[in-house]
A and B are shown apart, each in its own frame.
Chain A
Amino acid sequence: MDEEPERAKRWEGGYERTWEVLKEDEFGSLKATVEEILFQSKRKRALESHGQVRLGMMRHLYVVIDSSRTMEDMDLRPNRLKATLKLMEAFVEEYFDQNPISQVGLITTKNKRAEKLTELAGNPKKHLAALKKARDAACVGEPSLYNSLNLAMQTLKHMPGHTSREIVVIFSSLTTCDPANIYELIKTLKSLKIRVSVIGLSAEVRVCTVLTRETGGTYHVCLDESHFKELLMFHVKPPPANAQSECSLIRMGFPQHTIASMCDQDSKPSFSMSHLDSTSEVGLSLGGYFCPQCHAKHTELPVECKICGLTLVSAPHLARSFHHLFPLEAFRETPLEELPADRFCHACQGKLKDKIVFTCPFCSGVFCTECDLFIHDSLHCCPSCINSQHSN
């Protein structure tokens, strides 16, 4: 990563060093500084999320991006807005990678107003385009937390009960300009079971603390770009499903991709549903996904059928989302000394150096810290378990 040297060059670097001096206090007891606490909490977070909890599989998430005057602050490079949008692009891609049958929408707030950038949709392309476009927008005025939450709520409250309703606010300003009492809105959000999480870019603001505490979300303030990214990526993983959330059977269509060749007499070029509202390209094509119910044609999956409203997915999508239902159990922490002579990580085959290693409770495979994180964050299955299954 080229971020590291860049960080050292920054002129604020000097201040960060003064902080490090504070660590070496003459009282041994004062040693645990914020960074240590941070590391601890990171580990905790990993542990907590790996409990046997059912995670929401279908998510509806609105991301509110503060575009107020304070987003021009240069403490994130090149400024807060650009850094946020760049990370958001990565987030959107990652989000759909991990939650293929979920939807996302974008809202920006500035000048005391809130404005929908994109509607809730399951297609990353539109969001990415909107994010690109937002780069040139000016940052003016104050944000309005109330308006943006209200806007998101208007859509989210109509979402079916078996899906999760979430809002993530990226909040840079320290003030909010609200037309009404925000505590009333928080109550409403709570009753609608909408979970609001906030990522602060500058400091802890009281109203956000209350908001997240009441609605069951998380509240974090970023330290720098890499921490920001970490915090944002934390929201890729679905939150634990609400215990009272409804269970319902949903109809889903699994359309097959039909590839028609020109020589086939029966095939006629037709418009795809997703091209109906985009004027830019001419959408006549031969092949596509045909809705098993109404035979409307779609070019991409997953999508909700424009005609009959059936959810159209492909089997692999469902499988990818499936692991949220059965999360991988957390590995046991064991000190290195307890291990026999063979001290290699079963995943990366590297020599185990850390004092603490992780053991899979089923196959007793031993992993290093990095691999543990990778397995739990991205892989969602224990490689050594699968290996032994195969050999059997």
Chain B
Amino acid sequence: MKLNIEGLLVYFPYDYIYPEQYSYMLELKRTLDAKGHGVLEMPSGTGKTISLLSLILAYQKAYPLEITKLIYCSRTVPEIEKVVEELRKLIEFHCKETGEANNFLALALSSRKNLCIHPEVSALRIGKEVDGKCHSLTASYIRAQRLSDPSLPSCRFYEGFDAIGRQVPLPPGVYNLDDLKEFGQKKGWCPYFLARQAILHANIVVYSYHYLLDPKIADLVSKELTKKAVVVFDEAHNIDNVCIDSMSVNITRRTLDRCTSNVETLQTTIQRIKETDAAKLKEEYRRLVEGLKEANVARVTDVYLGNPVLPAEVLQEAVPGSIRTAEHFVGFLKRFLEYLKSRLRVHHVVQESAPQFLKDIFQKVCIDRKPLRFCAERLRSLLRTLEISDLTDFSAITLISNFATLVSTYSQGFTIIIEPFEDRTPSIANPVLHFSCMDPSIAIKPVFERFQSVIITSGTLSPLDIYPKILDFRPVTVASFTMTLARTCLCPLIVGRGNDQVALSSKFETREDFAVIRNYGNLLLEMSGVVPDGIVAFFTSYMYMENIVASWYEQGILENIQRNKLIFIETPDAAETSMALEKYQEACENGRGAILLSVARGKVSEGIDFVHHFGRAVIMFGVPYVYTQSRILKARLEYLRDQFQIRENDFLTFDAMRHAAQCVGRVIRGKTDYGLMIFADKRYARADKRGKLPRWIQEHISDGSLNLTVDETVQMSKHFLRQMAQPFRQEDQLGLSLLTIEQLESEEMLKKISQMAHQA
């Protein structure tokens, strides 16, 4: 259908539209008009992706000078593929309606591992190996050497791409990863490099977060993307953690050992080159004296996306003399390594700030702040000069040099924690140096600064105001949309008491309480007798789950549950978990029924959807607070309090509730789906917890379902499930939660929709 969104003609490839999609597009358009950033929350299964795509595509068509590119960031490869499929549908529809040939180029980008078509290289399984092997075939100096010695192996796809593909732009169309591979096969061009080249002029790019947020990758891939772009982060409820992870460095003894061997390799290579080709090193020296002018010019003229690992000040200056020659630099690295080793030899926990660390390093081994800052850049230059083909081996030393640069650049926002052992195993020495980023805004800042509009969207972003705070940006629109439903297909219940009136809670004091555990068991047992097919239960941590399950086993509760359903358990082992998941789905499919016991923040809670019968109920045992004794967390909380005036408790609750919402959100994956959401903890009834749930869940929690006993829960669930089992067809939705174009354009509905946006 064709929609008119405040004067913009939007082609929408479906015959029906949800009211909230219309409202979402309205808000999105306003954000784009204002050239600002936005935070938008809309429940999963309401067609967020297609709304986003169709509006932005329409915008691009209508104002080609305002927005030239859409960068759509998603989390996993399957999600990327899904987005591309929606896009394909949209563009086909667009062409059909307008009768024009498509002139849009849209493609997905992923790692070499997913795109390589070289028969030997692509047979490797691990991403790093593929990267390394590819590099050893395609690096520029290898290819230069091949000119003199044609016997060296080569990649014919890369050669093909380099010979012809570089000049020929990818024809317009929609390319997912397989399409790219097929195209590459046909032409004999490397799909990976083709895609990397093509994203520069593509209209729509779909790739993973890391290509924008991780400074190491972003520098390679996304540096030259145009400024007039819209960046969308989908499923962005964890974006702060992604940012933090991409900037944090953990150094163990193993890392240092590998570094040592790296340094030795460097040294021998330098020695060899010195004997054979001393001019090369001189040339490098000369370049370093001139400084990083090139990079500086680029940044000043705003050609590139900023890189947080390459601080602005560094660009102004030349590389300091003490590390300019290769031998000196290697010596410098050695000293630095020795220092780190000595720091790891501690017997008690040390926590210090970056300036403290710098002071200490100066006193002990006389390393200044300035050379440290240039470390990352200097290493990169050295590796380039030495023509070392297999870069994967040097990941350890790259890590250390990045750490050196970061620690000397940012005096705030980072903390250094050295732990001699893990908390759980105090007898085994396993020293780790955590260089932990506490400020997610550092990693994402270049993105906000560079791109015209950044949209952060997810099914669960509540409370909305906290994201702008912790990511340090000023959005022009902040909105939350609810699901309009023809029938109330979700049923959130808060169970606060057992049948014996014992308060249910996972809080620390009552964690070991026998009565609480028994009542939890009772709840699961009763629910297993009422809920058909699949139930997913989430615990706050693996340890807590182990304790409870062991206790249930002793009390015979497990045995009783197994009369109703089979039980599967998520473990930290990925292979085991995927096996359990597979069997779980099989049991749901053939009517045996199953329960999956899993952990909030685990793999299941984030990535797996439990559509329809795979999840008819989800039970959240306790509030999934993060492990509060962790030093990294404590440091971060402190930082948040000092820098952003966010109280520790507020952040912890926010974090717990967003994970709880993620967990329970797994069951509702669309309007025809239905599911129970059971919050089994008294604390959920409190306003501060309840208020932080997404609005689309919150509005279905009635006062009557705040502090239920197990029995009451069972009764309500029974009733709910019966109601939901009644036949439900598309016609029942029409006009209420599903609109045709005529219905949408009626006065009354438009008014209702505009109200929806106001409530946000």
Contact = CB atoms under 8 A, between A and B. Distances in A.
Contacts of A159: none
A203 B725 contact: yes
Interface in B514-530: 529-530
A34 interface: yes
B688 interface: no
Interface in B702-740: 702, 704-705, 712, 715-716, 718-719, 721-728, 732, 736-737
Interface string A59-74: 0000000000010000
Interface string A287-325: 000000000000000000000000000000000000000
A37 to B, nearest CB: 5
B619 to A, nearest CB: 16
B715 A174 contact: no
A16 B579 CA distance: 41
A342 interface: no
Given A34-B723, A183-B590, A223-B722, A203 B531 contact: yes
Interface stretch (A123-131, A205-213, A272-280): A205-213
A70 B529 contact: yes
B349 interface: no
B722 A222 contact: yes
B565, B590, B612: which has the most chain A beta carbons within 10 Å?
B590
A177 interface: yes
A18 B702 contact: yes
Contact of A34 (B487, B588, B590, B718): B487
A334 interface: no
A301 B224 CA distance: 90
**Size bracket of the B interface:** 35 or more
Nearest to A45: B727
B529, B533, B563, B727: which has the most chain A beta carbons within 10 Å?
B727
B592 A176 contact: yes
A100 B446 CA distance: 81
B721 A204 contact: yes
Contact of A18 (B484, B533, B593, B704): B704
B531 A207 contact: no
Interface in A242-281: none
B613 interface: yes
A240 B558 CA distance: 47
A41 interface: yes
A34 B705 CA distance: 20
Interface string A168-187: 00000011111001110000
A174 B531 contact: yes
B726 A145 contact: no
B727 A41 contact: yes
A67 B737 CA distance: 40
A203 B616 CA distance: 10
Contact of A200 (B589, B718, B725, B736): B725
Contact of B723 (A19, A27, A176): A19
A32 B564 contact: no
Contact of B591 (A29, A206, A223): A206
A206 B592 contact: no
B486, B702, B722: which has the most chain A beta carbons within 10 Å?
B722
B588 A206 contact: yes
B591 A32 contact: no
Contacts of A203: 530-532, 616, 718, 721-722, 724-725
A174 B532 contact: yes
A40 interface: yes
Contacts of A21: 702, 704
Given A15-B719, A16-B719, A175 B565 contact: yes
A11 to B, nearest CB: 9
Contact of B718 (A18, A202, A207): A202
A208 B722 contact: no
B484 A206 contact: no
Contacts of A75: 718
Contact of A37 (B487, B589, B715): B487
Interface string A18-42: 1101100001111011100110110
B485 interface: yes
A202 B528 CA distance: 12
A12 interface: yes
Interface in A185-217: 200, 202-209
A22 B703 CA distance: 11
Given A204-B721, A204-B725, A174 B593 contact: yes
Given A29-B752, A206-B612, A178 B530 contact: no
A221 interface: yes
Nearest to B565: A175
A222 to B, nearest CB: 7
A232 to B, nearest CB: 16
A32 B532 contact: no
Given A30-B484, A34-B723, A175-B565, A207 B589 contact: yes
Given A70-B529, A221-B726, A206 B719 contact: no
A188 B737 CA distance: 39
Interface string B471-496: 00000000000001111100000000
Contacts of A181: 590
Given A15-B716, A29-B752, A41-B726, A206 B529 contact: no
Interface in A102-150: 142, 145
A27 B531 contact: no
B593 A40 contact: no
A220 interface: yes
Contacts of B589: 206-207
Contact of B532 (A27, A29, A204): A204
B715 A22 contact: no
Given A21-B702, A32-B486, A202 B732 contact: no
B529, B591, B612, B715: which has the most chain A beta carbons within 10 Å?
B591
A219 B430 CA distance: 60
Contacts of A220: 725-727
Nearest to B485: A30
Interface in B529-586: 529-533, 563-565
A27 B751 CA distance: 12
A142 B562 CA distance: 12
Contact of A12 (B531, B715, B725): B715
A202 B484 contact: no
B704 A207 contact: no
Given A15-B715, A30-B485, A205-B533, A221 B592 contact: no
A175 B567 CA distance: 13
Contacts of B19: 29
A38 B726 contact: yes
A182 B586 CA distance: 12
B736 A174 contact: no
B532, B715, B721: which has the most chain A beta carbons within 10 Å?
B532
Nearest to A177: B592
Contacts of A204: 532, 613, 721, 724-725
Contacts of B531: 174, 203
B592 A175 contact: yes
B382 to A, nearest CB: 61
A19 B726 CA distance: 15
B19 to A, nearest CB: 8
22 contacts: A12-B715, A19-B719, A22-B702, A34-B723, A37-B726, A41-B726, A175-B591, A176-B590, A176-B591, A178-B591, A178-B592, A182-B591, A202-B722, A203-B718, A203-B722, A204-B724, A204-B725, A205-B613, A206-B589, A207-B590, A220-B727, A221-B726
Please list the 3 inter-chain residue pairs (A to B) with the smallest Cβ-Cβ separation, ordered nearest first. A207-B591, A221-B725, A206-B613
Given A30-B736, A75-B718, A220-B727, 20 more contacts: A12-B715, A15-B712, A18-B702, A19-B719, A22-B488, A30-B488, A33-B487, A34-B723, A174-B533, A174-B564, A176-B591, A178-B591, A204-B721, A204-B724, A205-B613, A206-B533, A206-B613, A207-B590, A222-B722, A223-B726
Interface of B: 19, 484-488, 529-533, 563-565, 588-593, 612-613, 616, 702, 704-705, 712, 715-716, 718-719, 721-728, 732, 736-737, 752
